Chains A and B, each alone.
Chain A
Amino acid sequence: MELQSRCQSNREIYVEALAKQYPGGVTAVDGVDFQVSAGQVFGFLGPNGAGKSTTIKILTTLALPSAGFATVGGYDVVEQAGDVRCISGVALQDIGLDPLLTSVELLTIQGRLFGMKSAVARKRADELLELVGLTDAIGRRVSTYSGGMRRKLDLALALVHQPEILFLDEPTTGLDPAARRDVWTEVRRLNQSLGMTIFLTTQYLEEADELADQIAIIDRGKIQIQGSPARLKASVGTESINVAFEDHVQAERALQAVGTSFPGSRLDRDTLRMYMNGAAQVIPQVLKQLQGASLNPISLTLTQPTLDDVFLKVTGQSLIENEREPQLQNEPA
């Protein structure tokens, strides 16, 4: 695929003290700082309403910040909106496709609006459909597409003008596991073969873990912690002792019983999670203290920390809940 950039950029994202307050005083983003280097996949992880979408809207020039500063590819998102759009591709959470058009029609219109000649736009459309694996559905209207196919087409549309930085707002929300894997493969390929910088928001821990070189965890408008997935996991300790109880009340009593001797302990509903190094040695002591408080665990496991453990530790709540109840995407009308 011939990939000649149509606009120049340094492929970096720089965000400093970015804030967004909506009329009525709701603060969606509350002083966020981060930096994405060229060619990185940056995962912006957080629950619904954490401020992820607002951040992506500011970075893609669809919304203005109330305070702070941000550049995308070296261009100011407020003052140089046209340049930012030229170098970035955007696939928003709400997929914007006209259901009455076919994939080729949508892609060629997009290409021609970006100044491509008719034949070039058509060729680009074919390349992109091939890239996202939609060549079988080439002449069909979008209304006949499944949720996963629409996501892929939306991704292809974001790539028409050969952006150097790609923004994906919850690219797999509502997709079934197979379709989700397909999108992941695609994101990895774009990043690795084209060197595209990718900024991705997600509420799925597994997704951030799989794809991102760097992760920032955002909650209530603020970044709670950021770093590489490995570093974040190591920050909570190398191991986790997970003690499950009948109910939340018992788990809470257990936290009181062991919390002082093991300060890395957190409550996750009915389970007590204790983060530390060298956990195997202290298991007898943990059990002894629990028995001392006449508490009977249902199970005890020893695991390596996941990103959810990181999330639990920094925000005091678990993100897993979100993954258990995926919102279902509308099937073709």
Chain B
Amino acid sequence: MTQTTTQATMSNASLPHASFPLQLYLITRRTLVTIFRTPAALIPPIAISVFFLVIYNSTLGKASSFIPDLGTNNYLGFILPLSIVSSSLSGAGVAAQNMVRDIETGYFDKLLLTPISRAALLMGPILAGALILGLQAHIVILVALLMGLKSATGIAGLYAAIGLAVLLGTGFAGFTISAALGSGSAAATQGASFIFFPLTFLAPTFVPLNLLSGWLEVAARINPITYVLEAMRAILNQGWDVATLGRALLACALLGTAMYALAVVALRVRTRRR
């Protein structure tokens, strides 16, 4: 069949419409408002992250003398990054759940009938997701500070860790939003969010990378989470390590770009007029 297709979001630039930054602001704010009006979706990710932090620290903390470079911190400084990363994973799912709801209620179609740019439709929820998981990372770090964490790089280092979590989470958000757009179903989106869960364990999760071997080491080396965990650990326990930080930023950038591209394709498919 040689049917022509055009994009439903296509709009004529000369027609009255909001500027791109304003569109992005409106969609992001609106997504945040709806997320905060369903607080039940926000609490489990934070609770689980804090739970893991406490459990891992108390079960493995005493037997962790083999882990080098912990500085003034104990095992807490090693396991905290895992907790932050897992909270950004689940936090990223919140934005996608919001988008699925929009598709199900038909509000998404309503937005498509306005002169809104495709990029704002995608980046709004991703940005909202990033802000949410930044907030979650704050809470997890606050709990760790109460448990006795000392950052080797001070407040700046803590914020660097949060920044990394946000960047990593943005990539996850791109993926879960692609799943939301592709499936239009809450169950499928939920399922897609779980794909990243094993990834947190195909990494130097409980021991440093140099103690891994065989297939797990190979998997860990191509897993972007590995580099984020290593950078966070270096920042928290040792000090600024530009090379490690650079690798983490690069890993986040690659993941983020790839996932955003995927989301763009998913949105194109969803909004194609047939």
Binding site for B on A (CB under 8 A): 6-7, 23, 60-64, 66, 78, 80-83, 85-86, 90, 92, 94-101, 105, 109-110, 112-115, 141, 157, 161
> In the bound complex, do residue B115 and residue A85 qualify as a contact, i.e. CB atoms below 8 Å apart?
yes
Are B105 and A64 in touch, CB under 8 angstroms?
no
Partner of B113 from the list A83, A85, A94, A101 (CB cut-off 8 Å) is A85
A80 to B111, CA, bound (A): 18
A83 adjacent to B17 (CB under 8 Å): no
B residues less than 8 Å from A110 (CB atoms) = 110, 114
Interchain CB contact under 8 A, A64 and B17: no
A81-B6, A112-B18, A115-B16 are known; give 8 further A-B pairs, CB within 8 A: A6-B15, A62-B273, A63-B273, A63-B274, A96-B107, A99-B105, A100-B33, A110-B114
For B, the interface residue count at a CB cutoff of 8 angstroms equals 37
Cross-chain contact of B105 among A96, A105, A114 (Cβ < 8 A): A96
Secondary structure class of chain A's binding surface, majority of residues: loop
Asked if A98 and B273 make an inter-chain contact with CB atoms under 8 angstroms apart, the answer reads no
Q: Is the interface of B mostly helix, strand, loop or mixed?
A: loop
Instruction: Determine how close the nearest CB of chain B comes to the CB of A333; give it in whole angstroms.
Output: 11
List, in ascending order, chain B residues with CB within 8 A of A99's CB: 105
Whether B1 and A61, one on each chain, are in contact in the complex, defined by CB atoms closer than 8 angstroms, is no
What are 25 A-B residue pairs whose CB atoms fall within 8 Å in the complex?
A63-B274, A64-B274, A78-B6, A80-B12, A81-B6, A81-B11, A82-B10, A82-B12, A83-B15, A85-B114, A86-B15, A90-B113, A92-B106, A95-B106, A96-B110, A97-B110, A98-B102, A99-B105, A100-B37, A101-B34, A105-B33, A113-B26, A114-B17, A114-B114, A115-B18
Q: Which residues from chain A contact B111 at a C-beta distance below 8 Å?
A: 113
Answer whether residue B8 sits at the interface, using C-beta atoms and an 8 A cutoff.
yes
- Establish whether residues A64 and B116, one from each chain, have CB atoms under 8 Å apart when the complex forms: no
Whether B113 and A100, one on each chain, are in contact in the complex, defined by CB atoms closer than 8 angstroms, is no
State in angstroms the CA–CA spacing of A157 and B106 once bound together. Answer: 13
Which chain A residues lie closer than 8 Å to B37 at the CB level? 100, 141
